[in-house]
Amino acid sequence: MKTDQKPYRQQFIELALECDVLQFGEFELKSGRISPYFFNAGRFSTGSALARLGRCYAAALMEASVSADMLFAPGCTGIPLVATTAIALADEFGVDMPFAFNRKEAKTHGEGGSLVGSSLKGNVVIVDDVITAGTAIKESMAILDAAGATGAAVLIGLDRCERGDSSLSAVQQVEQHSGISVTSVISLHDIIEWVDGNPEMMACRDALERYRERYGVM
């Protein structure tokens, strides 16, 4: 399956490999499946890596042409993602977009509450690394609804493009249940296409293709 290999997609894959965020081998997932690749966004852990990461996220969001007023991150893992995306939107595209995230536990002193950052309002893009079961997105939609804001889209780093308990992928289930679109910086299809263009990585190709044929969705 050929994808449109935008420069930011290739840059994201190369950055993920440099930071050991994207690894090839045999990895047992929570589902019990043995995956030929693994993605751990927590390894984007330096200032320069986050700066480059933010530019990729921002480029993907701008290409999607989403009408948005602000960004929101669910929980701890999304905090650096939403912050660096907001910085890149301002620096690279001249879009100064406010952002917020929620605490794991509500603060009981000072101003209190579970939200940090700008007040939730208008059309909001939810920013995260991947969608596994969609739980974080459902919780985020409930938070937005309670604040009177609207979910405009979801922006993630990687779409694994694989079926869950049904014929739909986790991303497709979120889109179906929430009624909003999910934009990813890259997908499994992009990874396979990138491998095709890099002969030194071809040892991974067959395993990736077999995994896609067994579990994948288009």
Active site residues: 107, 109
DSSP 164: -
Helix residue ranges per DSSP H, 20-134: 47-64, 79-93
Measured distance CA(83)–CA(10) in Å, rounded: 22
Helix residue ranges per DSSP H, the chain: 7-18, 47-64, 79-93, 135-147, 170-178, 188-196, 205-215
Q: Are strands 70-73 and 22-28 parallel, antiparallel or unpaired?
A: unpaired
Q: Report yes or no: 78 and 58 within 8 Å, Cβ to Cβ.
A: no
Q: Report yes or no: 144 and 115 within 8 Å, Cβ to Cβ.
A: no
